[in-house]
A = this chain, B = another copy of it.
C-alpha cells in the first residue's frame, strides 16, 4: 500500500499539518529538526504525495490544456515544444489534445472544460464558429487563443503576423526582385491564417499598382497534394505567372513536384516561394525562399499569457485581454530569381 501523509505523521510523531508544511511552500515554518525527521521518514517509506488530493484541496489541477487542430508535422511539434517549455518552468503539466479521425476540435475543448481537467487552455483554431464561441463563453476556465481571427476581443490572443509576412514577401518579390507576375496559392477559405496571408499579398500588389488577376489566385488546402494540384493549374494557363507564392511550405513543396513533373525548372522557369519556414524546406532543391515564422515562440508567448492569467485569476480586477502578434521575417533561398 502506498504511504499517505497520515503514515508519515504517525511515524514521525507529528501531525499531518506539520508534514504538509514541511513538504510544501511553508517549509520555513517548521523547525529544521522536525523537518529533517519528517524528510527522513518520507524517504524511508518512499512517500509520494498524492497529487490529486493536493489538487482537490487546492482547487487546481496543475495542468494546462493545449488544443490543436491536428498534430502532424514540424509545425505542431514546435508549438508543443514552446508551450511545454514555459509550462514546465511554471510548474504546470501539459495535456495535449488534437482533432483526429475520432475526435473533433469541439470534443477536445469539451474534454478539457467539461470535466475541469485543466486550469487553463491554449486553443489553436483555424477558424471560429458559433458552436465553439458558445462553449467558450459557457466556461470560466482561462483561455488563450492562437489564431489570427479578428474580433474575439474578450480573449488573450496570439497570432502570427500573417498579413505583414505575406505583404513583406510580396513586396520583396516586387521591389527587390522586380517581379510583376506573381500568383498565389492560398489556404482554405475558412482558415484565418490563410485569409490574412491572402490579404497581405493582395495589399502589396495594390500598393505597387499591379493588377490583381483572379485566375492567378487559387484556393487550396495547405497540403502538399493541394499544392501540386493548384500549381499544375497555374502552369497550364495560357498566361503563366513567373512566381508562385504558396501560402505555406507544404504547398510550395507541392509546386516543386508539379514543376518537375511538367518539366519546369525552378527557379529559372518558375519561381516558388513559401510561408512558415518549416524544417524540411531546407531540403528542397533549390533551397526554398520563404517567410520565417517563429513557431516555438508562438507557443511560448501563448503560455506566458495563460500563466499570467492564472496567476491573478484570484484577484478580481481582470487585466484587459492582450493581443500579441508574432512577427515574421524572410528567408532567402534559391527558389526565385530576379526578374529578367
Residues of A within 8 A of B (CB): 2, 46, 48-53, 55-56, 61-63, 71-74, 76-78, 80-81, 84-85, 88-89, 93-98, 100-103, 111, 113-117, 138-140, 253, 256, 279-280, 283-285
Contact = CB atoms under 8 A, between A and B. Distances in A.
Nearest to A138: B46
Identify the interface centre among A89, A93, A256: most chain B CB within 10 Å of its CB.
A93
Given A77-B73, A84-B71, A114 B48 contact: yes
Contacts of A97: 84, 88, 93-94
B63 A71 contact: no
B116 A102 contact: no
A58 to B, nearest CB: 9
A165 to B, nearest CB: 23
Contacts of A80: 71, 96
B253 A116 contact: no
B139 A48 contact: yes
B94 A96 contact: yes
A102 B101 CA distance: 34
A56 B52 contact: yes
Contacts of A74: 72-74, 77
Contacts of A117: 51, 62, 93
A115 B51 contact: yes
A95 B63 contact: yes
Contacts of A48: 113-116, 139
Contacts of A140: 2
A77 B71 contact: yes
Nearest to A74: B73
Nearest to A54: B115
A74 B73 CA distance: 5
A56 B285 CA distance: 56
Contacts of A61: 51-52
A77 B102 CA distance: 17
Given A2-B140, A52-B116, 9 more contacts: A48-B113, A49-B116, A63-B95, A71-B81, A73-B74, A81-B98, A85-B100, A89-B102, A280-B283
Contacts of A62: 117
Contacts of A50: 56, 116
Contacts of A256: 283
A101 B84 CA distance: 11
Contacts of A84: 71, 96-98, 100
A246 to B, nearest CB: 14
